[in-house]
Structure 1
Amino acid sequence: MDWMAWTLPTAIFFATIAALLVIFTILAIRFPETPRRGILRIETTRGDRLFITLLGSAFINLAWLGVVEAYQPYALIVCLVYAAAVFRWV
């Protein structure tokens, strides 16, 4: 990976997203799901909720960096709470 000049945290980040995509693909094959309606009143599947979670987490981290300027791992806690809420109610 030297040609990309990745740091270890960057590699872990993208490996985690790749692993999530593989896991969600396996889940979709093994346990097909029908879309459900949540609080947003749109039909979503597990993959849709994963996308909403990843997109929202990116915005949470950017806002955290721009507004709070505090220790960044605290943003991870906010993102985990957000992810739990998305998978539960969206």
Structure 2
Amino acid sequence: MTLEWMAWTMPTTIFFITIALLLTAMTIWQVVSPCIKRKGLLPIATTRGDRLFIGLLSSAYIHLAWLGLTSLSLWIAFAFSLVWMGLVMRWA
């Protein structure tokens, strides 16, 4: 029996390091400046962490839809996801 290991390509490594850095930065920000829940475009009151989670999850869905529905470069979906993440963090 052989064990199969995940292939850590550079984009995969950068992705997971970025997520770890985002979570670390959000934790430090929460400790330094606790936030209060606020209601934005979403019909629920959210904190910064909630908005980060919603932004990351919806960005994953954007990428999956992009892969399934178009044959265009994934970098376009990445740019769209960054803009979407900024909008969610600011106004959601």
CA distance in 1, matches of 2:74, 2:43: 32
Written as runs of structure 1 = structure 2, the 5 A alignment for 1:13-52 is 13-52=15-54
The residue identity in structure 2 corresponding to 1:48 is: D
Tell me the distance in 2 between the aligned counterparts of 1:56 and 1:69.
20
Q: Which structure's residues are more often helix, by fraction?
A: 1
Q: Secondary structure at the match of 1:34?
A: coil
Alignment of 1:1-90 (within 5 A): 3-90=5-92
Give unmatched runs, 5+ long, in structure 2.
none
Q: Which amino acid aligns with 1:11?
A: T
Runs of 4+ deviating beyond 2 Å: none
Range that drifts further, 9-18 or 80-89: 80-89
When structure 1 is superposed on structure 2, of 72-81 and 16-25 the one drifting more is 72-81
Aligned residue pairs, count: 88
Q: State the percentage of identical aligned residues.
A: 53
> RMSD between aligned alpha carbons?
1.0
- Consecutive unaligned residues in structure 1, runs of 5 or more: none
Query: Considering only CA atoms, is the larger Rg found in Structure 1 or Structure 2?
Result: 2
